[in-house]
Structure 1
Amino acid sequence: MKAYNVKVIDDYKESLIILYGASLQGKNVLDMLLRAGIKPTYFCDNDPNKWGNKVNDIEVISIDMLKKLYLKENNRKIKIIITSMYINEIMYDIIENEIECDLEPYYYTKFVFDAYFLSINAGKIRPLKDKYLGERCFVIGNGPSLTPHDLDLLKNEYTFASNKIFYIFDKTEWRPTFYGCVDDTVVNSGYMVDEFINMKVEKMFLLDNWQYNKNIYGLDKVMFLKSKDKLDKRKIEFNYDISKPMHIYYVTNALIEIATYMGFKKIYLLGVDMTFPTEKEIKEKKYHNYHFDKRYVEDKEIEIAIPKSYNYEDDVKFTINSYNIMKRYLEKNEMEIYNATRGGKLEVFERVEFDSIIKK
């Protein structure tokens, strides 16, 4: 698949780029440009306290300096990207100073580069379609029933794991074949970058929020999953093509969808206990027994990840509904899914004994 908007990207590369607004938004746009091999010439800002400072080795200048640059480089095309919330004010300043340039707000730039990298990423994902056709695999949850012993028995199987599975690595030689993380809490904190880099897996599937992280996007093993703009829990659907924008609900759902896209015909769940803390347990901070390791959830993460509107019964109902939709899709497409979890509350999928399938 050819990359979208290549000519448009080339236009950025041939222009002298100025980011107007040495802000967090400016830093985000900078990361985006750098991934495409485009280094802006300057940041510009109206705050005198920022003049002369540097953002990622790029100097911050005043609009007076920008005008001098324009007069000096009048034979070269200048593109100014407004990376500030004060878009109208900055536009007025540029017009008043008679600086002729291509002018665009940061959200337009983001749209262009998101589309460009979405097409590149889709081109990386599509060769995985049906690559493992007819094979079986195990989707590993992070519930309290998961044990190192069971994982040791899966060393020669195709396995998918997620999130903080690395907390069990010091107790087993097993490592997942594939890994996924679609948790906004993890993305926003950024503290798992080292784990992503060091994890030895064939493929890693991350939320596209990571696609401009310079430590991540250069890794060959990484594929980015593009989430749709708005998650509507009233309209649950199965994402049969992971190269396109997806409704991403929970990581286990995403791993199952990835496995079916890759051609696996028989999927076993292990450690998918489907246990959730109640509202009372969250308030009392009694949520450390819902995963295989008590270190799994930190108090500060709960405050970010669990909205004040969290409702235990609604969460369980939504999860069951999403699994039922998955089950119907898989049955319709002649795929099999079984629950090999030891215990737990998930009864949507047919139960099988883990020990018996390992012997096959």
Structure 2
Amino acid sequence: MIKLLKNVVKKNLPLWYLNQPGIIFGYNKKKIKKLKNKFEGQRCFILGNGPSLNKMDLSKLDNESSFAVNGIFYKTEEMGYKPTFYVVEDGAVMNDNKKKINQFKCEYNFFPSIYKKDIKNRENTFFFNMDRSFYEKRSSYFEIPRFSPECSDRIFCGQSVTIVNLQLAYYLGFKEIYLIGMDFNYDIPDSLKIDGHVFESTEDDVNHFHPDYFGKGKKWHDPKLHNVLKSYKMAKLMFELDGRNIYNATEGGKLEIFDRVNYNSLF
């Protein structure tokens, strides 16, 4: 490992290089491998965090498998909803919400292994190998979407944590995926503090279901919806090639790549 670190420094390689398959860096390969196809043939719901989520009756998900991310704990505090699977990808989210993330306990908690030092609560926690090459300009796969059928080896980033969830859902064997709260629309306030691709809010968040989600003082990244769409297209293809489907059950919004279904009609 010392030799590897020296090589990274010498060649000025990105830090994500340390977390590639074949390099031991704290991810739970064997532990995640035991989950493969555990939910084969079942359906699940993947939650986005758009304002439309406030229009959905999340109590209907009490007996369903669901994925949620980042600041979903605001919904738990508001009305008791808690997902089956909880995922955080973004470093800004981790840095701004460490206390709440550590207090939030779900049946399955998935975090990139690079955040292992930040996670004190290890109960039902799975650290995965996150491949960040989508974000790295030096990578041959910069802004080129990929999809991992073997999440115990690695999971690819794709501009949205939803892409991570779709790979996990595929790996776990879910056949029907229903997206809700995926508004696919962002207003960029003039009041934002902008440093490259990093945004810092100076007022309440208008783009998510709760004003504090990326509220005053919190940092987030340029959503780059054109890149998210590329990754969605890849995920859609992967599911369809295997006889599985992704549906959009969001109320409203601008995401039209997936066939739409009415949320309430699913129950």
Question: Could you tell me how far apart the structure 1 residues matched to 2:73 and 2:257 are?
Answer: 28
Q: What is the number of equivalent residue pairs in this alignment?
A: 242
* Higher RCO, Cα 8 Å, sep 6+: 2
- Residue 180 of structure 1 pairs with residue 87 of structure 2: yes
Say which SS state the counterpart of residue 206 (structure 1) adopts: strand
Sort the Cα spacing of 1:149 and 1:329 in 2 relative to 1 into closer, same or farther, 3 A.
closer
**Kept in 1: contact 2:112–2:128 (CA 8 A):** yes
Question: Could you tell me how far apart the structure 2 residues matched to 1:125 and 1:207 are?
Answer: 12
Sort the Cα spacing of 1:229 and 1:293 in 2 relative to 1 into closer, same or farther, 3 A.
closer
Post-superposition offset of 1:130? 0.0
Deviates most, 204-213 or 253-262: 204-213
The aligned residue for residue 223 of structure 1 is 126
- Pairing 1:1-360 to 2, within 5 Å after superposition: 115-118=23-26, 121-147=28-54, 150-187=57-94, 189=95, 191-213=96-118, 215-216=120-121, 219-228=122-131, 230-231=133-134, 232-249=141-158, 250-278=160-188, 280=190, 282=192, 288-302=205-219, 305-306=220-221, 310=222, 315-358=224-267
Question: Could you tell me how far apart the structure 2 residues matched to 1:159 and 1:123 are?
Answer: 23
Post-superposition offset of 1:153? 1.2
What stretches of structure 2 of length at least 5 have no aligned partner? 135-140, 194-200
Sort the Cα spacing of 1:214 and 1:234 in 2 relative to 1 into closer, same or farther, 3 A.
closer
**Kept in 2: contact 1:233–1:318 (CA 8 A):** no
Deviations 1:136-167 (A, max 9, x none): 00001110000275111111110110000011
Question: Could you tell me how far apart the structure 2 residues matched to 1:215 and 1:301 are?
Answer: 22
Q: Which amino acid aligns with 1:132?
A: F
Q: Which amino acid aligns with 1:202?
A: E
Post-superposition offset of 1:135? 0.6
Structure-1-length-normalised TM-score: 0.60
Post-superposition offset of 1:200? 3.0
**Kept in 2: contact 1:149–1:172 (CA 8 A):** no
Question: Could you tell me how far apart the structure 2 residues matched to 1:213 and 1:296 are?
Answer: 20
Post-superposition offset of 1:180? 0.2
Post-superposition offset of 1:279? 7.0
Sort the Cα spacing of 1:278 and 1:203 in 2 relative to 1 into closer, same or farther, 3 A.
same
Question: Could you tell me how far apart the structure 2 residues matched to 1:194 and 1:287 are?
Answer: 20
Sort the Cα spacing of 1:337 and 1:281 in 2 relative to 1 into closer, same or farther, 3 A.
farther
Say which SS state the counterpart of residue 166 (structure 1) adopts: helix
Question: Could you tell me how far apart the structure 2 residues matched to 1:319 and 1:255 are?
Answer: 13
**Kept in 2: contact 1:193–1:215 (CA 8 A):** no
Question: Could you tell me how far apart the structure 1 residues matched to 2:234 and 2:40 are?
Answer: 22
Post-superposition offset of 1:185? 0.7
Cα RMSD for the two superposed structures: 3.0
Post-superposition offset of 1:194? 3.2
What stretches of structure 1 of length at least 5 have no aligned partner? 1-7, 9-28, 30-80, 88-106
Question: Could you tell me how far apart the structure 2 residues matched to 1:148 and 1:320 are?
Answer: 24
Q: Which amino acid aligns with 1:269?
A: L
Percent of aligned positions that are identical: 31
Post-superposition offset of 1:174? 2.3
Question: Could you tell me how far apart the structure 1 residues matched to 2:237 and 2:48 are?
Answer: 21
Runs of 4+ in 1 over 3 A off after TM superposition: 114-118, 278-287
Larger gyration radius, structure 1 or structure 2: 1
Post-superposition offset of 1:211? 1.6
More helix as a share of residues: 1
Say which SS state the counterpart of residue 115 (structure 1) adopts: coil
Question: Could you tell me how far apart the structure 2 residues matched to 1:246 and 1:296 are?
Answer: 25
Q: Which amino acid aligns with 1:170?
A: E
**Kept in 2: contact 1:148–1:172 (CA 8 A):** no
Sort the Cα spacing of 1:343 and 1:225 in 2 relative to 1 into closer, same or farther, 3 A.
same
